[in-house]
Amino acid sequence: MSIEIKISKKKIPYKMAMLSLNKRVEEVKNGKNNELLWILEHPTTYTAGVSFNKNEIIDKKIKIIKSNRGGKITLHNPGQKIIYFVIDLNKRKKDIRKLINSLENSIIQFLKNYGIKAKNDKKNIGIWVNKKKIAAIGIRVSRWVAYHGCSINISNNLNQYLKIIPCGLDNKKVTSISEEITIKPRKYEKNLAKIFIKNINSI
C-alpha cells in the first residue's frame, strides 16, 4: 500500500491545509489518489473539535476555527509539528482502536529517541510525560477512510495555551520536548515519517 509522504517547510495556514486534506480524503475514497502522511506546522491557530465547549475559551478575544475532527479545543503554533494523514482502512483492518494505538506508539517511539519516557492514557487520548500532555490526537472516519492527525509539541510557545483549556485539561498540564530536555530536535521529519508509516502499515 502506497502512502505518499509530504513534508512542508513553510508554515501552512490551517484553512488551506484543511482544503487540501479534505480534497485528498475524497480522492482516496474514490480510488483516485494514494493515502497521505503530511508533516507541517501552522501559524498560531486555535481550533475546536466536535465536542468542544465555549467555557473552554478563557481569552474571549481569540479567534476559534471549528473543525470536524474529534476532540475539544486546542492550539497549533510554530514549533509544534502536525502529522496529518489520510488512511484507507478498507485496505487494512477496520479497527479504529488499532489505528489510534499505532499513532500513540509512533509518538512514544519518536520521543524515546530523545530519552523522553512517554505513555498513553486509556481515559484521556493523547501522549503524556510526567502527567503533562506532549502530543494530541484527533481523528475522523468516513466510509472507513481515517483522516486528520496528531500534534507533537517540539519547541512551541506553551504560554499560548493559557488562553484556552486545551483538550478540556488544566492548561498547566502541557509540555514540550524543549521543556523536557535541553537539546532541540533538528532535521527529524523524515525519521518521524518513517516511524509513522511503519506503525500504520502494521494495522
Q: Given the residues 36, 118, 139, 167, select the one marked as catalytic.
A: 167
With contact defined as beta carbons under 8 Å apart, do 112 and 183 qualify? no
- 3-state DSSP call for residue 142? strand
With contact defined as beta carbons under 8 Å apart, do 114 and 107 qualify? no
Q: Is 167 annotated in the active site? A: yes
Contacts of 176 (CB under 8 A, 6+ apart): 79, 80, 134, 153, 154, 155, 156, 158
Task: Quote the longest CA-to-CA distance of the chain.
Answer: 46
For residue 58, what is the DSSP state?
S
Rounded-to-10 torsion of CA 5, 7, 8, 11? 110
With contact defined as beta carbons under 8 Å apart, do 76 and 181 qualify? no
Distance CA 64, CA 52 (A): 11
In the numeric block, which cell numbers belong to residue 99? 489505528
The catalytic residues are 167
